[in-house]
Amino acid sequence: MDVLSDVIAFMRTGQPSSALVAWHAPWAQEFASMPGAAGLQIVLRGPCWLIRPGDAPVPLAAGDVVFRPHGHGHTLADSPSPPAIAPACGPDDPRFSQRHVSVPARGDAPATVTLCGGYRLDRALTHPLLNDLPELIHLPAHLGRHPELRSTVELLATELEHPRLGTDAIVPALLDTLLLHILRAWLDRRPAAGATGWAAALNDPATTAALQAMHRDPARPWTVAMLAAEAGLSRAPFARRFTALLGRPPLTYLTWWRMTTAARLLRESDAPLHTIATRVGYTSEFAFAGAFKRRYGTAPGRYRRTG
């Protein structure tokens, strides 16, 4: 898998939730802070406002996409100075905690329709890319911009509004697709010269080539020289470039990725420890167990039993 696909596959746990919601003025809805989760709001019809504590209200229009990667709370309302706010909804709210919910309009046409989505994240397996994301990613609707994102939104809204046979399989897949398109749009905003972090690294062909190689085949006995060859650079310049962008040397990242992969395999498969050790590049189960304990503070077998 490529780096971005791995980020989604490894950090998300369980099924994402979604709801198509019709709001009638005057209205305001608080969305509770959800540690270990990420949420999105897409305005399908009508205007509204995004209100966050300590920040100026953000006007939203039809087609706007908002992503809150760190699960912090916010309010949606029909005005920047909302009326009395309804009790906060969160992961256990029956309107928003189910996998797909359609909230019908009350009589006349609703003033605003939003598509809400939520993802539960496994913080133990969170990729550092997520930590680089800002508190708010706002993708305003622009004609011709992000056409794949817009198409996915339309498909998801249709499935939620008119569920049919197969909707239970289609909606989670579309939510993952939507999340990937949001992250692509954010990464495509080319960083300023001299910037560091994952956006800069994934816009750098040499660093991306090395990352793709590690993700494609973590079991290979990589050396810095081998990764530099994948990047098309000599050893020393590659190591400096990788470390400057991502804040850790190439082989340190490789070890982190191997242990993250092993942790997921321990939780989601019954593969024996020696098989998992081999899949993440260790010829000795003993060496693998030592590396895993240094990363997670517990032995692989115990991690599997208590995970």
Distance of alpha carbon 20 from alpha carbon 155, whole angstroms = 12
Find the mean pLDDT for residues 62-67. 92
Predicted pLDDT of residue 24: 83
Mean pLDDT of the chain, nearest integer = 86
* Residue 298 buriedness (CB in 10 A; 0-12 / 13-18 / 19+): middle
Find the mean pLDDT for residues 118-139. 86
Type of residue at 157: A
Predicted pLDDT of residue 1: 65
Predicted pLDDT of residue 305: 87
Distance of alpha carbon 95 from alpha carbon 299, whole angstroms = 40
Residue 5 has pLDDT above 70, yes or no: yes
Residue 99 has pLDDT above 50, yes or no: no
Q: Is 22 helix (H, G, I), strand (E, B) or coil?
A: strand
Residue 11 has pLDDT above 80, yes or no: no
Selected residue with higher pLDDT from 100 and 31: 31
pLDDT band for 96, please (50, 70, 90 cuts).
low
Distance of alpha carbon 3 from alpha carbon 169, whole angstroms = 24
Q: Which of 47, 81, 82 is nearest to 64 (CA)?
A: 47
Q: Tell me the pLDDT tens digit for each residue of 160-172.
A: 888 899 988 998 8
Q: Tell me the pLDDT tens digit for each residue of 187-231.
A: 887 677 778 899 999 999 999 999 999 999 999 999 999 999 999
Distance of alpha carbon 189 from alpha carbon 119, whole angstroms = 23
Angle at 100 (CA atoms; ends 99, 102), nearest 5 degrees = 155
Q: Tell me the pLDDT tens digit for each residue of 12-59.
A: 777 788 888 888 888 888 888 887 788 899 999 999 999 998 899 999
pLDDT band for 274, please (50, 70, 90 cuts).
very high
Domains of the chain: 3-187 (2.60.120.280), 198-306 (1.10.10.60)
- For 270, other C-beta atoms within 10 Å of its C-beta total 8
- Which residues, listed in sequence order, are joined to residue 39 by a DSSP beta bridge? 68, 118
Residue 98 has pLDDT above 50, yes or no: no
